[in-house]
Amino acid sequence: MEISETVEKILLYGECCDHCLGRFFGKRSHGLTNNERGRALRIAGLISGNKPYEPFSGNCWVCGNFFVGVPEWANKVVAAVQGLEYSTFLVGCRVPPLIAENEEMVWSDLALAEPEPFKSEVNREVGKAVSAITGKSVDFKKPDIVALLDVATGDVEIQVNSVFFYGRYQKFERGIPQTHWNCRACQGAGCEKCNFTGKQYMDSVEELIGRPVITAFGAKTAVLHGAGREDIDARMVGTGRPFILEVVEPRIRTVDLAALQETINQSADGRVSVALKHWCDRVDVETLKSSKAHKKYRILVEVEGALPA
């Protein structure tokens, strides 16, 4: 089917904006945006009856003129990330079922081979607008934040990705678990057995390290990923145990690790000590967890009476 014939058939479905018209041929590599491609198709007169070009001014049956509001969406994103430190971002969106059904019907009916989904264009165009306002870069693999647009409701949800750093900890006090334990009786809800704290143990290595970290990063919480674990009644001395701390939903991402190490060690008051080594990524957690380590235990045994020969 010739492009002119395809365009005619597309426009028989109803009034269609340049963005959506161009997007039905969106994967053709002509160096044009979908908006430019759609306009070019109109200008070329590739419409039913070869009518003269008239700029689109109606209501697009596919997207409901979504792309007119791209600047407004970009401003919503910028407002939603106020107070967050970030260098890179990514825009995503939830597509209303009706829009997805509209374009998929045309793809199927006309057996289109090169359409681009509405979602892809939304993410790209709003992302470009946000980048122009903020000067921040889009990162498709590991963005600091993700702005999720809800096209149906007009809301913007911000997802803040975690920060990770690697270090080693020593534990000098027995009776401290590696990670937070909920009370066995109430499962964290709070009861008389745990003095309504929700905890089985009042402190953990995770919390002794994590509390100063949460403050420094303005984070929601901090999760310790250890290279194995020691018994609660054992100390961890020597060179210490490797760990990665995941800082969840940080509002601040640039923190001096040397200063943070000092703050943690002062706060832990000799119960736990850390040596923070470097920043790392989520993929390093799996590597840490899967690595096999050799341990050395030193045990003092006291017996009454003489030992048999």
For the stretch 116-155, pLDDT in tens is 999 999 999 999 999 999 999 999 999 999 999 999 999 9
Query: Quick one: 3-160 is in which CATH superfamily?
Result: THUMP superfamily (3.30.2300.10)
Q: Which of 134, 90, 93, 112 is nearest to 22 (CA)?
A: 112
Distance from chain centroid for Cα 56: 37
In angstroms, the CA 76 to CA 231 distance is 50
- Residue 52's pLDDT band, with cuts at 50, 70 and 90, is low
Q: What is the CATH number of domain 163-290?
A: 3.30.70.2510
Location of each CATH 3.30.70.2510 domain in the chain = 163-290
- The pTM for the full model equals 0.85
Q: pLDDT of 11-34, one tens digit each?
A: 899 999 999 999 999 987 678 899
- The 3-state DSSP class for residue 187 equals coil
Given the residues 109, 231, 256, 281, the one annotated as active site: 231
**End-to-end Cα separation, the chain, in angstroms:** 97
User: Which phi and psi (to 5°) does residue 259 adopt?
Assistant: -70, -35
| Cβ within 8 Å of residue 211, ≥6 positions away | 222, 267
DSSP code for 48? G
* Spatial contact of 30 and 14, defined as CB atoms under 8 Å apart: no
Angle at 258 between CA 255 and CA 260, to 5 degrees: 55
Annotated catalytic residue 231: yes
Q: pLDDT of 193-247, one tens digit each?
A: 888 888 887 899 999 999 999 999 999 999 999 999 888 999 999 999 999 999 9
Q: Average model confidence (pLDDT) for the chain? A: 92
Location of each CATH 3.30.2300.10 domain in the chain = 3-160
